[in-house]
Chain A
Amino acid sequence: MLDIVNLHAGIAGNEILRGINLKVNPGEVHAIMGPNGSGKSTLASVLAGRDTYDVAAGTVTYRGMDLLAMNPEERAREGIFLAFQYPVEIPGVSNSYFLKAALNAVRKHRGLEELDAVDFLMLVKEKLKLVEMEPSFLNRPVNEGFSGGEKKRNEIFQMAVLQPTLGILDETDSGLDIDALRIVADGVNTLKTKENAFIVVTHYQRLLNHIIPDFVHVLVDGRIVKSGGKELALKLEEKGYDWVREELEQVTVGS
């Protein structure tokens, strides 16, 4: 589904990603872990099409398409969904208006009929239950005055409505209490199918107790330096990231 080859990207001349290679197949959950500043969020942003980052080299193929040639809205319509680390507040635009515009843009692109107000409301009310939010939440301006937990739940709610093929969660667990963490994880687990895939970017292992990854990758200084199964996350939790660095240095010195 997704094939990242030798991806180099940065911001204002500073290289942050220094050759990422990653393959994601349908039905898989990949966790990307790493210390602060290792490039995790940059990778998520580049995949979603944020143009503040410059791609210097490499290719990203998504379902046979050249992802890097597509603009953010095209990527979204083709099924890429980024759950933001810091969802932005948009005063004056209601959640329901925003989501209806988004859903209909996606549906139109997929050759489906646009939903009318009634069908839309039925659909979103169903999805609201998934994230345990009240319908009144639809009338509030997007993320305005939301608590940190509400903002993250809103991201998962949007993901549930838009039904992406590839969901990218950028530190969705940061700042969440244990209840919100469970709601977010349950949401993702409910949405998981054999056809879609998730990339879960996280600093801590605790989210991975709830969303069980098939693969764990460790990102250090813009490169994936270690990959393994879910047990790798536990080891990182226990020992921190330093041992990965040390191991890396030994390899470098030894070679």
Chain B
Amino acid sequence: MPGHGQNLDQYVSNFERFEKSLNGESKQPLHAVRKAALARFTELGFPTTRDEEWRFTNVAPIAKEIFVPALPSDGHRLGLKDIEPYLFKADAPLRMVFVNGHWAPALSAVESLPPGVRVMSLARAIVAEHDLVTQNLSKYVRFDGNAFAALNMAFLKDGAFVMVPDGVELSEAVHLLFLQTGGSSPVMATMRNVIVAGIASRVSIVESYVGIGAPTSFTNAVTEFIVGDRAIVEHDKLQVESTRSFHIGTTHFHQGGGSGVVSNAIALGGRIARNDVTAVLNAEGCTCTLNGLSVATGDQLIDNHTTIDHAKPGCESHELYASILDGKSRGVFNGKILVRKDAQKTDAKQTNRTLLLSDEATIDTKPQLEIFADDVKCTHGATVGQLDEDQVFYLRARGIDLVEARDVLTFAFARAVIDRIHVDPLREQLDAMLHTRLRQGRVASEV
């Protein structure tokens, strides 16, 4: 039963309009899935805090708001100059740019791809790579029990599709840039990305979600990685949407034997931002590293839910999630590690650290270890604290003023995560962005 005060009817009428805009596409088998997903969404309704998975994150502000699906014409005036600040590398040769969820070919660049590599919009891939896409779509991110996944599936139209064939190493990172410009009224943007890494392939994906201006927007993004045996995947997600926006992001990795995944999720934006990262280590010898950094101030809420599913023996996972919370902001971390009966010789390590910069900021942190195998090594630890007064004094005793000393130490805390990003220009850009952001946060909290 959906909770009270949820404005679900709008999604039904919006869907009818969306359906018409699809023209002939609505006759394809995929559309039946959309319809089923919408039906499921209206049954489920938005989650409430009575739902264990959403205990600390009240999405009522999303449920109450009136959203219209973003039109391709919203923000169509954006030019290359407008997006430049958000590219981590000037003239990034491999980039797929989306404005309010719609692919913007004029802003994108897909040049000199190695043979067999596919980088295209999902809308195109649904036609051009029909079997490959439909085989994988929603196979791993299921919508039967997840309202946001259902809503994403119902309004699924576009996103990015990347496929790297067996044995191919893509040296250049692929940048997926999602810009929210908003419209005359609050808009909902739905993105779906599918990344297929072939056997023994190598690929690096950078996903950024950026707000231009300060739109009230609702981003619902799902990214699915299908990682082949012995493939190496790095994923960096940077979420810097406006502090009036709602961001619901879902990332899923399905790992083949001996594969390696590193995921770094950096969240700075959003009034309510929820980041769900799931990795299923579905064959022997996988390694999986999930890192995250949230930086929040004002009345932001940033919620990270991670799940590492050790389904098979001999896999290794490392996890470091850190939060820096200022103002009245709130953080949530829920780290689930599931070790199935079969998954002997699992080695899993989880760390969650929180730095509270104000007395009013709060964190709810919860490790959730479910271990059904007996020969495993699983450790977890959580720390919550303020800046170390001895460190602050040490810096001041060398002439560095109090404000700067606090900045330096806060930044050092963030670096534990930032330094794990392997895409050099992205890491450098993020360095600069964080410096500015921490300074702004400080100014905001002094007011």
**Residues of A in contact with B (beta carbons under 8 Å apart):** 48-52, 71-73, 75-77, 81-82, 84, 87-88, 90-93, 97-99, 101-103, 105-106, 109, 141, 158, 162
Contact = CB atoms under 8 A, between A and B. Distances in A.
Contact of A73 (B402, B412, B413): B402
Contacts of B132: none
Nearest to A142: B394
Contacts of B424: none
Contact of A72 (B388, B393, B409, B414): B393
B389, B395, B413, B414: residue with the most chain A Cβ atoms closer than 10 Å: B395
A50, A92, A103: residue with the most chain B Cβ atoms closer than 10 Å: A92
Given A84-B394, A87-B394, A88-B390, A102 B411 contact: no
A75 B404 CA distance: 16
Contacts of A99: 398
A92 B413 contact: yes
Given A90-B412, A101-B404, A82 B390 contact: no
A109 B399 CA distance: 9
Nearest to B412: A92
Nearest to B401: A73
Contacts of B39: none
Interface in B395-417: 395-402, 404-405, 408-409, 411-416
Contacts of A72: 393, 396-397
Interface of B: 388-391, 393-402, 404-405, 408-409, 411-416
A143 B395 CA distance: 12
B388 to A, nearest CB: 7
B401 to A, nearest CB: 5
A110 to B, nearest CB: 10
Given A98-B408, A101-B408, A88 B399 contact: no
Nearest to B393: A50
A71 to B, nearest CB: 7
Contacts of A50: 393
7 contacts: A49-B397, A88-B391, A90-B409, A98-B395, A101-B400, A105-B398, A105-B400
A98 B409 CA distance: 10
B287 to A, nearest CB: 24
B388 A88 contact: yes
A-B interface, 5 closest residue pairs, ranked by CB to CB distance from nearest: A92-B412, A102-B398, A76-B399, A72-B396, A105-B399
A101 B398 CA distance: 9
Contacts of A162: 398-399
Given A88-B390, A101-B404, A76 B398 contact: yes
Contacts of B401: 73, 105
Nearest to B396: A72
Contacts of B404: 101, 105
Given A88-B388, A88-B391, A93 B399 contact: no
Given A50-B393, A72-B393, A92 B399 contact: no
B393 A93 contact: no
B394 A106 contact: no
A91 B397 contact: no
Given A52-B389, A90-B395, A102-B398, 14 more contacts: A72-B397, A73-B400, A87-B394, A88-B390, A88-B391, A90-B394, A92-B415, A92-B416, A98-B400, A102-B400, A103-B399, A105-B400, A105-B401, A106-B399
A92 B397 contact: no
Contacts of B398: 76, 98-99, 102, 105, 158, 162
Contacts of B402: 71, 73
B399 A77 contact: yes
B307 to A, nearest CB: 28
A77 B394 CA distance: 14
Nearest to B407: A101
A106 B416 CA distance: 29
Nearest to A94: B412
A82 B399 CA distance: 11
A72, A101, A141: residue with the most chain B Cβ atoms closer than 10 Å: A72
Given A48-B397, A162-B399, A93 B390 contact: no
Given A88-B388, A90-B391, A92-B415, A82 B409 contact: no
